[in-house]
Chain A
Amino acid sequence: SSEFNASYSMGRLHIEHMGGERVFSCANCDCPLTNRQQLISTRFTGATGRAFLFNRVVNLDTSELQDRVMLTGRHMVRDVSCRKCKTKLGWVYEFATEESQQYKEGKIILERALINESEGFPDPVKD
């Protein structure tokens, strides 16, 4: 075992937390993901139905880049999954071919059925 084996499942994951009064987490393992302040739009659709667009989400793993044609046009996306339990949760937009869709670049879609919303508490005042 003196050879470094990259396939070990290893260590304790570093789990970030974005805080916020309404916290979204993975429905499967309750890993914190994002909050209401990061929510941009609720009018998206994913494989399981309704989906939300968020500005920033933490504790996600991303897949390889994929070319996907959607209702709104052709996009380059990566699938995102929960870092803790590996459940697929949605996708992130890397590149939008149509100019009107470029506002989505860098933002994340999470499917509503795959996340929970729960009470957080007020963020600390900026000091």
Chain B
Amino acid sequence: MENGSGCLNGSGAADSAEKAQQQQQCPAVQLSERNREAVRVIGQYLRELGLARSAEALVLEAGCPLESGAAAQFRSSVLLGDWDGAEASLASLRRALWRESSWSEIAFRLAEQRYLELLESGAHIAALCVLRGKLTPLQLSPDRLHRLSGLIMCSGPEELRQLSGWSGAAGGTRQALLDSVEQFFPPSVMLPPKRLSVLLDQAVRAQVSRCRHHNTSLSPDQLTLLADHSCQAAASVPSVCSQVLDAHQDEVHVCQFSPNGRFLATGGRDCVAIVWLVEAAANPPGAPRVRHHLTLRIGEERGGVAWLAWSPDSRLLLACAAEEATEVIVWEAETGDCIKKLKHRDEDSLTTAAWLPDSNHFVVGGNRGHFYLCSVDVGFEKAWDFIRVVALATRREDDGGTAVLAADTFARIRRYRFDTMQDETLFREDGPVMSMSISQDETLLAVCVASAGVHLWDLRLRVCRRRLHGLTHGAYLLHASIGGPNQDFVASGSHDARVCVWHRGCQAGDGAQQHLLPDKLSGHGGLVSCVSWNPRHHGMLASASDDCTVRIWLPASLAAAAQAASADGTGPGGAGFSSNGCCSSTVSKHQPPPLL
């Protein structure tokens, strides 16, 4: 076996003799095959970082060369620009290749680098010799040859670099050439490039996929290597009720945060829509609290607020009333001014709505078969006949138009384009649809199916990604919401007065079933119909219940900060609160209790 020291500096005879002596003096450490591989990989990592002497010392002490002698020779020749030497080394490596046919590819790339470097330094005659004598005889792709010969016309190194996309001899291209050649050789001869970095990245990604409460927007290469990654539940998943809002006089059926996360709208059987302000305390930062802003009446004869929808610019709030609702109302959220009362026909029943991206147009509909496109400026614009609408959402499409997604009484989720009057069925549910909610990035749709649970559909692939179970079923409408920085969390109400929170993404090594069960937040005294995630403060969740209250849930660490901020006495009151300001909420046994 050759003494492949991987040494980058040319060494004189005296040096190498000394090194050989040193090696014999070092105690020979017996390494298993795995350990030898580890040493090689670490040595490569050190060398890539520029710690060449450490890499050498490692190789000496372990007695384990990073790669075969010829490969080491090849590497150092390329890095020094000794092209003839590189060719010679390559010839001796030829039989080690995975496939004989790749030899000409490697020879081509080697000659190409030589050619470009010669051109860069102005030696056009020599470059032409390389082109004729080395590149052309290989008889590879004529396109590449043609492109390379065209570069002779470049007037200077700047133009050469620009036209070819090659960053120059000093621009790391020699290393890049080595990296690109490594794939043609088995690992025993030459290591795959950046092997340790690849392994570390794989490990971190595996940890991320097992993280049960993954709720961070950090990319894998920003996460620490020093401990297995796992998002702390206390920091990311809501588990503590930080506020109980009891301004409503009757059951609360809807709650919606505005898209900018600054407002919360709630409404229910008392025919009133309340707008709340979300305030993030400055000190400590990130502890959001909710404060009453406006109370808006929709009129007694309308049977209560059935739905609330925020315009995408968070400026306008639209309210639909319950069953016999012929009119929808639009207010400006900041001032409370009623800017539109839209009524089309007396027999209409408009119980659900969604806005289009221009914050002017919106669609409304109901299960008696009314499905309209309207706008704040003009009012009623267009009708789509004979569709019994159960739920609505909108989605921007690739051609710039907006598709209206509607679930109907036949459990179909269809796509309607009011501009082209095209429609299409996207998919069909296997049970009656109660409600629908689209994620903020418009890629996922959460469909609440009666007596089944929450089904998550991928809108681009048109497949059902997850079926979420664990909520308690019954005869009443439930709404779900998708939240979290990566659309990873789904929450919904439940008939057993608890809020269900699922983390949809993680794959458990010990069976994915475990993670389909939700964390359950207790505290409400009646059925929880509707939940909403705050799009700006990702761990903040609101829930609306038949116990006439709305509750705000925060991750345990944030909640503690929020309590401290409310020490001036304007803290949450109302039923169900114990004296330390936290209600007696518990988290189900599927997750350890949060650390406060």
**CB pairs A–B below 8 angstroms (29 shown):** A1-B575, A2-B583, A2-B584, A4-B496, A4-B525, A4-B526, A8-B526, A8-B546, A10-B251, A10-B526, A11-B477, A11-B529, A12-B304, A12-B322, A14-B450, A14-B475, A14-B477, A17-B367, A17-B388, A19-B388, A19-B410, A32-B367, A83-B475, A121-B386, A123-B410, A124-B387, A124-B410, A124-B412, A127-B425
Report if A18 contacts B (CB, 8 A): yes
Q: Which of A1-31 contact B (CB under 8 A)?
A: 1-5, 8, 10-19
Q: Which of B366-392 contact A (CB under 8 A)?
A: 367, 369, 385-388
B576 and A2 contact, CB distance less than 8 A = yes
Instruction: Select one of B409, B450, B526 contacting A18, CB under 8 A.
Output: B409
Given contacts A12-B322, A122-B386, contact A1 B476 (CB under 8 A): no
Instruction: Select one of B386, B408, B526, B583 contacting A5, CB under 8 A.
Output: B526
The docked-state distance in angstroms from the alpha carbon of A14 to that of B525 is 21
The docked-state distance in angstroms from the alpha carbon of A91 to that of B50 is 85
Report if B523 contacts A (CB, 8 A): yes
B residues less than 8 Å from A127 (CB atoms): 425
A2 and B575 contact, CB distance less than 8 A = yes
Distance to closest chain A CB from B415 (angstroms)? 12
Given contacts A2-B576, A4-B526, contact A13 B409 (CB under 8 A): no
Looking at A19, A61, A83, the one whose CB has the most chain B CB atoms below 10 A away is A19
Q: Which of B501-533 contact A (CB under 8 A)?
A: 523, 525-527, 529
The docked-state distance in angstroms from the alpha carbon of A33 to that of B323 is 15
The docked-state distance in angstroms from the alpha carbon of A121 to that of B409 is 13
Chain A contacts to B: CB under 8 angstroms: 1-5, 8, 10-19, 32, 61, 83, 120-124, 127
Distance to closest chain B CB from A107 (angstroms)? 20
B574, closest chain A residue (CB): A1
A residues less than 8 Å from B523 (CB atoms): 2
B residues less than 8 Å from A124 (CB atoms): 386-387, 408, 410, 412
**Number of residues on chain B facing chain A (CB within 8 A):** 36
Looking at A8, A10, A32, A61, the one whose CB has the most chain B CB atoms below 10 A away is A10
A residues less than 8 Å from B367 (CB atoms): 15, 17, 32
Report if B547 contacts A (CB, 8 A): yes
B477 and A19 contact, CB distance less than 8 A = no
B432 and A16 contact, CB distance less than 8 A = yes
Report if B253 contacts A (CB, 8 A): yes
Chain B contacts to A: CB under 8 angstroms: 251, 253, 304, 306, 322-323, 367, 369, 385-388, 408-410, 412, 425, 432, 434, 450, 475-477, 496-497, 523, 525-527, 529, 546-547, 575-576, 583-584
B527 and A10 contact, CB distance less than 8 A = yes
A12 and B529 contact, CB distance less than 8 A = yes
The docked-state distance in angstroms from the alpha carbon of A69 to that of B403 is 56
Instruction: Select one of A1, A8, A18, A121 contacting B369, CB under 8 A.
Output: A121
Instruction: Select one of B306, B547, B576 contacting A12, CB under 8 A.
Output: B306
The docked-state distance in angstroms from the alpha carbon of A19 to that of B432 is 13
B525 and A5 contact, CB distance less than 8 A = yes
A residues less than 8 Å from B497 (CB atoms): 4
The docked-state distance in angstroms from the alpha carbon of A14 to that of B20 is 85
A residues less than 8 Å from B322 (CB atoms): 12
Given contacts A1-B575, A4-B497, A8-B547, 4 further A-B pairs with CB under 8 A are A11-B253, A14-B476, A15-B367, A122-B386
The docked-state distance in angstroms from the alpha carbon of A13 to that of B435 is 12
A12 and B253 contact, CB distance less than 8 A = yes
The docked-state distance in angstroms from the alpha carbon of A58 to that of B475 is 12
A residues less than 8 Å from B450 (CB atoms): 14, 16
A29, closest chain B residue (CB): B323
B residues less than 8 Å from A32 (CB atoms): 367
B residues less than 8 Å from A19 (CB atoms): 388, 409-410
User: What are the 9 tightest A-B residue pairs by CB atom distance, in nearest-first order?
Assistant: A11-B476, A1-B525, A10-B546, A17-B409, A1-B575, A4-B497, A2-B576, A10-B527, A121-B386
Distance to closest chain A CB from B484 (angstroms)? 26
A16, closest chain B residue (CB): B432
Looking at A2, A32, A83, A122, the one whose CB has the most chain B CB atoms below 10 A away is A2
B526, closest chain A residue (CB): A8
Distance to closest chain B CB from A48 (angstroms)? 26
Instruction: Select one of A2, A4, A13, A18 contacting B477, CB under 8 A.
Output: A13
Given contacts A16-B432, A19-B409, contact A11 B527 (CB under 8 A): yes
The docked-state distance in angstroms from the alpha carbon of A32 to that of B526 is 27
A2, closest chain B residue (CB): B576
The docked-state distance in angstroms from the alpha carbon of A109 to that of B82 is 96
B251 and A11 contact, CB distance less than 8 A = yes
The docked-state distance in angstroms from the alpha carbon of A4 to that of B369 is 37
The docked-state distance in angstroms from the alpha carbon of A19 to that of B410 is 8
